[in-house]
DNA sequence: TTACTATAGTTCTAGTTAGAACTAAATTGC
DNA sequence: GCAATTTAGTTCTAACTAGAACTATAGTAA
């Protein structure tokens, strides 16, 4: 078992994610949103809205955190909460018209900002890296599940 | 420019990191440390100590955050602050003897816990994934630097 | 030397984070 | 149709997070 070889992998995973965060969040902050707020706006854009549960699954924000993030976006009039007609426990979070305008303005800017990172990569590179990441995620999820039951 | 292809990569990067965090931090918390505290203890183990600046560079924790993390570890008598003899601005953070015992006990446990994730991976797999991550990090850092000056 | 500049850490603020306890509404089982 | 369980969201707590402003010390340059 070459134990020495997976510790550098974990360090690189943390470093790569950290570098992504630094690069991405500096831009998002320059647009007057926090990274979590941007994720919510980006996820709600071009949709009829969705429940906090679904939003949390897509953005990987846990429900306790999500309440606060939505509170702050609602205070800025970027989203609003609508009661679900079907289920009294559910809400639907929607962009307001102001939120839609914000999304239309900043989402393309941020995509362009991120695209610059990959200027030197071929499609094959990108697919290879994506496959590596998928493999990693799958391994962590499988390992986590196997500790639970 | 196939713009569609790097967005899935970014999603996979976030998901993979998130899956790592969930798996790793559940274990760390069961050892009565937070992930940030564990990183500090793991970094200080088997060293004569180091300055907060160096600790922050190794653990990717920014200096403002680090003050609080070290405060809490010091309150638990796991580390202590020693004034640097050379530089009046510097400190040296060291594990206490209690901290060294803690490190000796939990670090191997955590390494073993993480090793399980990679049971199904060949050394070649691990090296390939590590290389992908290194490529990613480099690209983000380069892009970030090019926005600064 | 004396002013200027850079560096190390702390403090402060606003926000995110996870996890656990809680409330209310729905679903299931009997 | 009622009790037991599950699910959706909120609230609470402790901690982390980045970034900016601040203090103190060190290095540099005239």
Contact, A52 vs A38, CB < 8 A?
Answer: no
Nearest residue to nucleotide C21 when comparing alpha carbons to its C1'? A64
As a whole number of angstroms, the distance between CA B66 and CA B98 comes to 20
- CATH number, position A27: 1.10.10.10
User: Which residues between 63 and 102 in chain A have a beta carbon less than 8 angstroms from any beta carbon of chain B?
Assistant: none
Q: Are residues B82 and B30 in the same domain?
A: yes
Q: Are residues A144 and A86 in the same domain?
A: no
Which of A3, A20, A119, A138 is best to mutate for the B interface (most B CBs within 10 A)?
A20
Q: Which residues contact B11 (CB under 8 A, 6 or more apart)?
A: none
Q: Are residues B137 and B90 in the same domain?
A: no
Q: Are residues A96 and A112 in the same domain?
A: yes
Contact, B12 vs A137, CB < 8 A?
Answer: yes
The answer for B60, left when phi > 0, alpha when psi is -120 to 50, beta otherwise, is left
Instruction: List the A89 CA – C26 C1' distance (angstroms).
Output: 8
Q: Are residues B66 and B137 in the same domain?
A: no
Work out how many domains chain A is built from and give that number: 2
How many CA atoms lie within 13 Å of A70's alpha carbon, on the beta-carbon side? 25
* Model pLDDT, residue A8: 95
As a whole number of angstroms, the distance between CA A9 and CA A132 comes to 11
As a whole number of angstroms, the distance between CA B61 and CA B71 comes to 14
Q: Are residues B54 and B13 in the same domain?
A: yes
- How many contiguous H segments (helices) and E segments (strands) does chain A have? 6, 2
Q: Are residues A20 and A75 in the same domain?
A: yes
Closest alpha carbon to A72 in A108, A33, A104, A46? A33
* Model pLDDT, residue A148: 62
Do A12 and B144 count as a contact with CB atoms less than 8 A apart?
no
Q: Are residues A131 and A97 in the same domain?
A: no
> By the CB < 8 Å criterion, does B19 face chain A?
yes
B88 Cβ contacts chain D strand, under 7 Å: yes
Mean pLDDT for chain B overall:
93
For residue range B118-137, what is the model confidence (pLDDT) as tens digits? 998 999 999 999 999 999 99
In angstroms, how far is CA B91 from the centroid of its own chain? 20
* Model pLDDT, residue B9: 96
Instruction: Return per-residue pLDDT of chain A as tens, 149 residues.
Output: 545 689 999 999 999 999 999 999 999 999 999 999 999 999 999 999 999 999 999 999 999 999 999 999 999 999 999 998 888 899 999 999 999 999 999 999 999 999 999 998 999 999 999 999 999 999 999 998 887 65
Residues spanned by the domain of B140: 121-149
3-state secondary structure of B86: coil
As a whole number of angstroms, the distance between CA B62 and CA B64 comes to 6
Pairs across A and B, CB distance < 8 A: 146
As a whole number of angstroms, the distance between CA A99 and CA A80 comes to 9
A87 Cβ contacts chain D strand, under 7 Å: yes
Instruction: List the B7 CA – D15 C1' distance (angstroms).
Output: 31
Range B27-50 average pLDDT? 96
Backbone CA torsion sign across B136, B139, B143, B145: positive
Do B60 and A18 count as a contact with CB atoms less than 8 A apart?
yes
Which of B137, B142, B147, B149 is best to mutate for the A interface (most A CBs within 10 A)?
B137
Instruction: List the B91 CA – C6 C1' distance (angstroms).
Output: 18
The interaxial angle of helices A6-30 and A97-115, nearest 10 deg, is 130
Range B21-40 average pLDDT? 96
Which of B45, B135, B140 is best to mutate for the A interface (most A CBs within 10 A)?
B140
Q: Are residues B68 and B34 in the same domain?
A: yes
Contact, A30 vs A37, CB < 8 A?
Answer: no
Strand D, CB < 7 A, residues 12-71 of A: 18, 22, 25-26, 29, 51-53, 63-64, 66-68, 70
Q: Are strands A91-95 and A79-83 parallel, antiparallel or unpaired?
A: antiparallel
Structure token digits, residue A124:
């094959």
Q: Are residues B99 and B148 in the same domain?
A: no
* Model pLDDT, residue B3: 52
Backbone CA torsion sign across A46, A49, A52, A54: negative
Complex ipTM = 0.92
| Nearest CB to A143 within list B23, B126, B143 | B23
Structure token digits, residue B42:
């793991």
To which residue do tokens 């846990």 refer?
A62
* Model pLDDT, residue B148: 62
Q: Are residues A127 and A97 in the same domain?
A: no
């Amino acid at each position: 078992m070459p134990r020495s070889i997976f510790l550098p992998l974990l360090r690189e995973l943390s470093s790569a994610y950290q570098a992504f965060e630094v690069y991405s969040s500096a831009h998002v902050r320059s647009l007057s949103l926090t990274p979590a707020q941007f994720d919510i706006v980006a996820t709600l854009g071009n949709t009829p809205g969705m429940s906090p549960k679904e939003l949390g699954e897509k953005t990987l924000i846990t429900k306790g955190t999500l309440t606060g993030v939505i509170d702050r976006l609602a205070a800025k009039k970027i989203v609003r909460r609508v009661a679900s007609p079907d289920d009294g426990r559910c809400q639907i979070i929607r962009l307001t018209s102001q939120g839609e305008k914000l999304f239309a303005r900043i989402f393309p800017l941020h995509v362009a900002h991120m695209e610059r990172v990959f200027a030197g990569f071929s499609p094959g590179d990108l697919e290879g890296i994506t496959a590596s990441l998928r493999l990693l995620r799958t391994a962590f999820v499988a390992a986590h599940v196997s500790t639970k039951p």
